[in-house]
Amino acid sequence: MAAFSRREFYEQLVQGCVVPTALQGLEQVWVLLLVCLGCRLLWRMGLPPAIKHLLTVAGGFFCLHHFFGLQMVWVVLLSLLCYLVLFLCRHSQQRGVLLSVTVLIYLLMGEMHMVDTVSWHKMRGAQMIVAMKAVSLGFDVDRGVVRSVPSPVEFMGYVYFVGTVIFGPWISFSSYLQAVNGRKLTFSWLRRVGRSLVLCTLCLLASTCVSPYLFPYFIPIYGDRLLRQWLRAYENTSSFHFSNYFVGFLSEVTAVLSGAGFSEDKDHVHWDLSVSRPLNVEIPRSMVDVVTSWNLPMSRWMHTYVFKNALKLGTFHAIIVTYAASALLHGLSFHLAAVLLSLGFITYVEHGKYPHKDKV
């Protein structure tokens, strides 16, 4: 490409990368988007709650099979195991802790290569969502946020909610129940879906077609060998960042399209689900901003169900436990553990320096 003029480069980029990438991305997710929209329309028909839960289970199973084939069995096994523990411990006041231990053992068994590595890694994202939902539900029942242990069809509907089963994000059990109640189809809902879809597409194109050629094609910076190495490292980092933003905005699309991700203010419904805040990550005021803005629902889950429960061990240990839980959910690896451990120390220092920043 070095022999191309700038105009020729842009023409080749559009024809050879931008258009094919956008079309391939749409080809990969159009079925999921269609199922999400179908469930949203069905929930507006006033069906009995049990039928709605069964429909979302069916939609979730269909999408899992569409994306993962028979490898979805590992997600199904985890969900069945979690409900079995929740049911057997329905009279206990430690359901959240027991579910956490169950998830911990299950994930460790998979990470220790007791399951086929390729299959396990492919299912990691979906399993992470199931694990987070099960643990949060256990603690919510313990705290009285959820009045009683849900029925099997309610639990499975929550776990396999079509808007979050593939790409996330994590939503609470109460948010799921609000979603299946079926809010009105409004212009603000459609606008939110369209906004997230546009941002999702832009992030996909930035990750695939812009970041690899950032220097010097888009930003004309040249330098010696050392500088070029740093620029190349930044290109790789930028590509990774935008791929994460792509998944974040795509999860906004699927969640909102299926009826989740809103807040209510009196009689007004605000479709305000936000998964990632790229500007806070790229231009942060603190490391805490980076950690929380990378994935807002996961950060909220970590803060509510891990950090707060571990505070009895002390602030430092609570922060380390939180980042250890994050490392396990994302998959055990030395590099990831080292990065998260470093983030834990930095967050602890910032927590001590700025006590008002209490969200990890």
Q: Which residues are catalytic?
A: 330
Q: Would you state the structure tokens that stand for residue 294, as one six-digit string?
A: 């990378």
Is 166:124 a contact under the CB 8 Å cutoff? no
Residues contacting residue 26 through CB under 8 Å, at least 6 positions apart: none
Q: Would you state the structure tokens that stand for residue 223, as one six-digit string?
A: 């330098």
Q: Would you state the structure tokens that stand for residue 227, as one six-digit string?
A: 């500088």
Q: Would you state the structure tokens that stand for residue 38, as one six-digit string?
A: 């179908």
Q: Rounded CA gap, 57 and 158, in Å?
A: 8
Query: Buried (b) or exposed (e) across 224-238, using 16+ Cβ within 10 A?
Result: eeeeeeebeeebeeb
Q: Rounded CA gap, 199 and 99, in Å?
A: 36
Q: Rounded CA gap, 104 and 82, in Å?
A: 11
Q: Which of 105, 153, 113, 162 minimizes the C-alpha distance to 131?
A: 105
Three-class DSSP category at 265: strand
Three-class DSSP category at 161: coil
Q: Would you state the structure tokens that stand for residue 151, as one six-digit string?
A: 């029925």
Q: Rounded CA gap, 221 and 4, in Å?
A: 17
The size of the chain, in residues, is 360
Residue listed under structure tokens 């998260």: 340
Is 22:209 a contact under the CB 8 Å cutoff? no
Q: Rounded CA gap, 221 and 216, in Å?
A: 5
